[in-house]
Structure 1
Amino acid sequence: METILDVKNLHVTFDTYGGSVQAVRGVNFSLKKGETLAIVGESGSGKSVTTKALMGLVAKPAGRIPQGEILFNGKDLVQLSDKEMQKVRGKEMSMIFQDPMTSLNPTMKIGKQIMEGLILHQKLSKQAATKRALELLELVGIPEPQKRINQYPHQFSGGMRQRVVIAIALACNPQVLIADEPTTALDVTIQAQIIELMKDIQAKMGTSIIFITHDLGVVANIADRVAVMYAGKIVEVGTVDEVFYNPKHPYTWGLLGSMPTVDSADEKLVAIPGTPPDLIHPPKGDAFAARNEYALAVDFEEEPPLFKVSDTHYAATWLLHEDAPKIEPPQAVKRRMKGIAAEGREQS
């Protein structure tokens, strides 16, 4: 499959009174046409900052990209001016945010909000834009679009508002759709509907999706590949099956172990001890070492490279070094790995 997006050695820094926060530290990943890549990790791991950098939405002057490339269809987005990025945003790349009420203008009818991008980027007439807006409302499953197009955001439920946000994001047929925890604020039933909607839209339009979430059950349902982030770095990346059935990084084990499943209802959840490191002063060696019960002496001295597990599976842990002791995930984690993957597939 054709690679549509290639991120190379991306760094994002925020200058604060306390010092420079190294929020993203040398991230590399690619996205293929029609693929869904899930980025997972705890809050503060750098997921949202990474995707905001892709969209040129890192808040300036505090936020900056000191180094790295974001190659989109061969052009480096890091080098584009704000004006040039405005032509990319909404037209070629779109983003769905976590809370639809922060994305929608409460004083503007939703039809007008959908039409804005169509008139700006597609140069459609008002009549043509209205027709397309009605088609988009129908596409995302909003009943009575003729009536709904003239209503305001407060007249919609949370799930319906999220559908409107998706309609706005899809208005100009973007090649890449970034979804930043789009189901977190919704109840479980509506979550499943939104995930199903996104899968359906991807099948119809061939859109590439970057899906940010902390819910591994959602990942099993929607993603082709998974990138696990910790302390501003990708520590493991692979296909869904590789990450769920053969995870190699102890942090991935911790994430899987902390997720409840139907089969493990009687078991205690496996908590990851400690807290993420201070990224004003990132620790020496492996950033996860202080929280890792399997840490080796070298973890506190030297940062591990991404070791190759297969052609599609890599993990940054010294446990994969040929001289390291052979350590398997705990049994409780193994049971959850299978349970989460199975439940995700049952929903799909």
Structure 2
Amino acid sequence: MENTILDVRNLQVTFDTYGGSVKAVRGLDFSLRKGETLAIVGESGSGKSVTTKALMGLIPKPAGKIPKGEILFEGRDLAKLSDKQMQKIRGKEISMIFQDPMTSLNPTMKIGKQIMEGLILHQKLSQSHAKTRAIELLELVGIPEPKSRINQYPHQFSGGMRQRVVIAIALACNPKILIADEPTTALDVTIQAQILELMKDIQKKMDTSIIFITHDLGVVANVADRVAVMYAGKIVEIGTVDDVFYNPKHPYTWGLLGSMPTVDNKEEKLIAIPGTPPDLIHPPQGDAFAVRNEYVMQIDLEEEPPLFKVSDSHYAATWLLHEDAPEVEPPAAVKERMKGITSNHTSVREDYHS
């Protein structure tokens, strides 16, 4: 597609350990369009963060490897670039916001200098011009009195303000893609909402494409255009927010939605997904979710399902979509929870996208 800025094809990432080779990402395919927000969701260990590290060229070597696959960014395959070549892209064209701002910021360096570093390195600005731009960025992300606060250290900022500083650093060089790896997890609910609103506002102003990594489906409903659900190193369902929230097809997606608390069901117990994710040193034959799937069929234990087409925008990797499979719908409890989640977030999402 003409407006595709990133195209990931059959991406595989492995890590050598004493116990064997961990297949952390096992043939990932997705694209990102200009100005779009793609959310990648899934349990811990599903491969979300490993995927983003691969995109940024941050897979630790020599243990980490990309044995197969392409990461096409504006026609260039990032998987084949050297560390030196990636340094010219990382921070300038693709930036990342990490989960905990205190591990992203240097506690011994004033925040102004930390913002200016990228501007001087990538944009070749002078010290004075970089300082002026750093003040503008602090103002853009909502830091009050930026002219004076530019000379302060990270410990002098609250958690929410530190995350705003991290966002300012990520935006310093006007990146084309912004990767946000669970950027609101360490923040309280009120601050989370402010940061999400800030990111959406900045995206409108700068037309930046965003990859949003999260386990919080409430966040997805508010900010994303499309959703990719990951399990055991693969995408098992992908579609628009409406596709995934109103018409989910994969039993794993049903489980994620069922485990999501809603305001309307205060006394209802959360629905847990039984079992644990598979050992990716020895990935199972067939569907990796089969042993946790109450609708498992014999073919799930023998063959891995392809991504079946539900609509032009919606695909899911489950044998339940095969024409010969029995007709199965989400459990009633999950349906009720889906209604609660979507009703709680639809009006908010419409505000963001208006």
TM over 0.5: yes
CA RMSD of aligned residues (A): 0.7
| 1:209-288 equivalence runs, <5 A | 209-288=210-289
Alignment coverage as a number of residue pairs? 348
Provide the rounded CA distance (Å) in 1 between the counterparts of 2:211 and 2:106: 25
Indicate the SS of the match to 2:311. Answer: coil
Question: Displacement, 1:216?
Answer: 0.2
Task: Give 2:352's aligned residue.
Answer: none
Question: Displacement, 1:343?
Answer: 1.8
Provide the rounded CA distance (Å) in 1 between the counterparts of 2:6 and 2:346: 27
Task: Give 2:142's aligned residue.
Answer: 141
Question: Displacement, 1:299?
Answer: 0.2
Q: Is the 8 A contact 1:192 1:347 kept in 2?
A: no
Task: Give 1:171's aligned residue.
Answer: 172
Task: Give 1:302's aligned residue.
Answer: 303
Q: TM-score, normalised by structure 2?
A: 0.97
Q: TM-score, normalised by structure 1?
A: 0.99
- Matched letter for residue 124 of structure 1: L
Question: Displacement, 1:342?
Answer: 2.2
Percent of aligned positions with the same letter in both sequences? 83
- Matched letter for residue 244 of structure 2: V
- Matched letter for residue 188 of structure 2: D
Question: Displacement, 1:335?
Answer: 1.4
Question: Displacement, 1:344?
Answer: 2.2
Q: Is the 8 A contact 1:22 1:232 kept in 2?
A: yes
Provide the rounded CA distance (Å) in 2 between the counterparts of 1:345 and 1:96: 26
Provide the rounded CA distance (Å) in 1 between the counterparts of 2:65 and 2:339: 40
Q: Is the 8 A contact 1:264 1:335 kept in 2?
A: no
| 1:3-152 equivalence runs, <5 A | 3-152=4-153
Q: Is the 8 A contact 1:286 1:302 kept in 2?
A: yes
Task: Give 1:334's aligned residue.
Answer: 335
Provide the rounded CA distance (Å) in 2 between the counterparts of 1:346 and 1:186: 23
Provide the rounded CA distance (Å) in 2 between the counterparts of 1:128 and 1:345: 42
Provide the rounded CA distance (Å) in 2 between the counterparts of 1:70 and 1:282: 23
Question: Displacement, 1:332?
Answer: 1.1
Indicate the SS of the match to 2:96. Answer: strand
Q: Is the 8 A contact 1:175 1:208 kept in 2?
A: yes
- Matched letter for residue 108 of structure 1: M
> Mind listing any 5+ residue stretches in structure 1 that lack a counterpart?
none
- Matched letter for residue 28 of structure 2: V
Provide the rounded CA distance (Å) in 1 between the counterparts of 2:347 and 2:130: 39
Q: Is the 8 A contact 1:13 1:23 kept in 2?
A: yes
Q: Is the 8 A contact 1:70 1:77 kept in 2?
A: yes
- Matched letter for residue 101 of structure 1: M
**Mean Cα displacement is larger for which, 336-345 or 277-286?**
336-345
Question: Displacement, 1:147?
Answer: 1.0
> Mind listing any 5+ residue stretches in structure 2 that lack a counterpart?
350-354
Q: Deviations over 1:51-72 (max 9, x none)?
A: 1100000011100100000000
- Matched letter for residue 298 of structure 2: A
Q: Deviations over 1:208-242 (max 9, x none)?
A: 00000000000000000000000000000000000
